[in-house]
Chains A and B, each alone.
Chain A
Amino acid sequence: MLQATMADRAPAPDSPDGELVRQISGATDHARAAEQLIHDRYAMRIRLYGLRHLGDEDAAADLVQQVLLSVIEAARAGRVREPDRLGAFVLGTCRFAVWDLHRSERRGRQAAEQGAMIRARELETGIHPIDRLRLEHCLDRLPPRDVAIVRMTFHEDRPTQDIAGVLGLTAGNVRVIRHRALAHLRDCLDATDAEP
């Protein structure tokens, strides 16, 4: 009876993951809609994971397709053992896919060795675009030492220890100042976003 009720109900954006997986595995009339909701819910997170671990926008976009296909196929085949913990399943699928890429592709290995730091232009479109002009204005409002740390970190790719040496600070100080500066930049951008 419960099963019949769930199958009759169209999934909503706030439907629990487990309900969506059960719709798919039960091949209900709403299975397609449930698949779309899983796509919408996890695509951004898979993309973020790909950017972090592959360091490349195209590779991250490929990962989104690959992982979602695997997850949907697993859901259809009833292979998602704990439907209510779909997030953990998606993350596990991401980890395996990236591990497999690292193993088989030289590019993947290089990205892993470099720590796969996020590169320029990534994520600037589609999720949270940032106005560079505004960002420059926000940078101008920071104290000179904070700007120097931000610049050495992001424009010159200097290691924290190196920056600390140049500025006569400890590495811990540099991290604290950098965190504070980045928080100010975030707040400044949010404030200018809110301006009419």
Chain B
Amino acid sequence: MTTPVCSSRLSFETLVDYWMGELSPDAAEQAEEHVFTCLGCADASARAAALLGALRSLVPPVVSDTWVEQLVRRGASIRTTEVQPDVPVTVAFTPEVDLLVHRLWGDLSRADRVDCEVLDANGAPLLTVDHVPFDRQHGHVLIACQRHYADEYPPDIRFRISALAADGTRTIREYRVFHDAERR
């Protein structure tokens, strides 16, 4: 019979592995059998699934070309701005646009790893994202700028892109993007 709670609850780790398809078939079947007898674990399973689903639906601050292509195929309206190092640009989040993409150009041909720092106009750090996706061949990093960032970050933003080569040398480039709030 179904019980509201059970004495041997499925662990959060087991539920995460279940939803990520990382349990063995036998273990997954056992987890399912348990969920169908325990309402508490069914609720915990739903919560785990909701968390994983929400994480998948988030737009990350730095994205790959593939990710942008998928979003365009799903009908999103994206405005891409080409940004060169040390050349400030101004962008506007107009109503018809779903997402702004800033393409930060630079030689990444020797990069093994790329990190991104988001800074305010005075250089104070706002966000750090390590191991970001990057296009080594063409030499760019794509920043996904979302509408709600306007409520969280100042309009004048600097991006510091740090590329680490296999020999340990690090190349740092800075980019500046002014978000025109008046034209939102």
Contact present for A115 and B55 (CB under 8 Å): no
For A89, give the chain B residue with the smallest CB separation.
Answer: B36
Scan residues 119-133 of chain B and give those whose CB is less than 8 A from a CB of chain A. 127-131, 133
How far apart are A147's CB and chain B's nearest CB, in angstroms? 7
Q: Does B54 contact A (CB under 8 A)?
A: yes
How far apart are A88's CB and chain B's nearest CB, in angstroms? 7
Contact present for A123 and B21 (CB under 8 Å): no
Scan residues 120-163 of chain A and give those whose CB is less than 8 A from a CB of chain B. 120-124, 127-130, 132-133, 135-136, 139-140, 144-145, 147-148, 150-156, 160
Q: Does B135 contact A (CB under 8 A)?
A: no
A-B contact pairs, 24 of them (CB 8 A): A44-B42, A44-B43, A48-B46, A85-B1, A87-B33, A88-B33, A119-B53, A120-B57, A121-B53, A122-B49, A123-B46, A124-B57, A127-B46, A128-B47, A130-B50, A130-B54, A132-B54, A144-B130, A145-B130, A182-B12, A185-B55, A186-B47, A186-B51, A189-B51
Interface string of B94-119 (1 = CB under 8 A from A): 00000000000000000001000000
Specify which of B18, B46, B67 is in contact with A128 (CB 8 Å cutoff): B46
Q: Does B35 contact A (CB under 8 A)?
A: yes
Q: Does B167 contact A (CB under 8 A)?
A: no
Specify which of A85, A116, A128, A167 is in contact with B50 (CB 8 Å cutoff): A128
Scan residues 13-53 of chain A and give those whose CB is less than 8 A from a CB of chain B. 14, 16-18, 41-42, 44-45, 48-49, 51-52
Q: Chain B residues with Cβ under 8 A from A45's Cβ?
A: 35-36, 42
How far apart are A6's CB and chain B's nearest CB, in angstroms? 15
Main secondary structure of the interface of B (DSSP, over half): helix
For A45, give the chain B residue with the smallest CB separation.
Answer: B42
Chain B residues with a Cβ under 8 A of chain A: 1-2, 4, 12-13, 16, 18-22, 32-33, 35-37, 39, 42-43, 45-58, 60, 63-64, 67, 113, 127-131, 133, 148
Q: Does A97 contact B (CB under 8 A)?
A: no
How far apart are A158's CB and chain B's nearest CB, in angstroms? 10
Count residues on chain A whose CB falls below 8 Å from chain B CBs: 61
Contact present for A118 and B36 (CB under 8 Å): no
For A158, give the chain B residue with the smallest CB separation.
Answer: B133
Q: Does A90 contact B (CB under 8 A)?
A: yes
Chain A residues with a Cβ under 8 A of chain B: 14, 16-18, 41-42, 44-45, 48-49, 51-52, 84-88, 90-91, 115-124, 127-130, 132-133, 135-136, 139-140, 144-145, 147-148, 150-156, 160, 166-167, 175, 178-179, 182-183, 185-186, 189
Contact present for B53 and A156 (CB under 8 Å): no
Known: A41-B39, A135-B55. Contact between A179 and B13, CB under 8 A? yes
Known: A86-B1, A86-B2. Contact between A118 and B131, CB under 8 A? no
Contact present for A167 and B46 (CB under 8 Å): no
Known: A166-B131, A167-B131. Contact between A117 and B21, CB under 8 A? yes
How far apart are A62's CB and chain B's nearest CB, in angstroms? 18
Known: A145-B130, A166-B131. Contact between A123 and B1, CB under 8 A? no
Instruction: State the CA gap A52–B52 with chains docked (Å).
Output: 12
Instruction: State the CA gap A184–B4 with chains docked (Å).
Output: 25
Specify which of B12, B16, B49 is in contact with A51 (CB 8 Å cutoff): B49
Known: A51-B49, A116-B21, A123-B49. Contact between A135 and B130, CB under 8 A? no
Instruction: State the CA gap A130–B54 with chains docked (Å).
Output: 7
Q: Chain A residues with Cβ under 8 A from B47's Cβ?
A: 128, 186
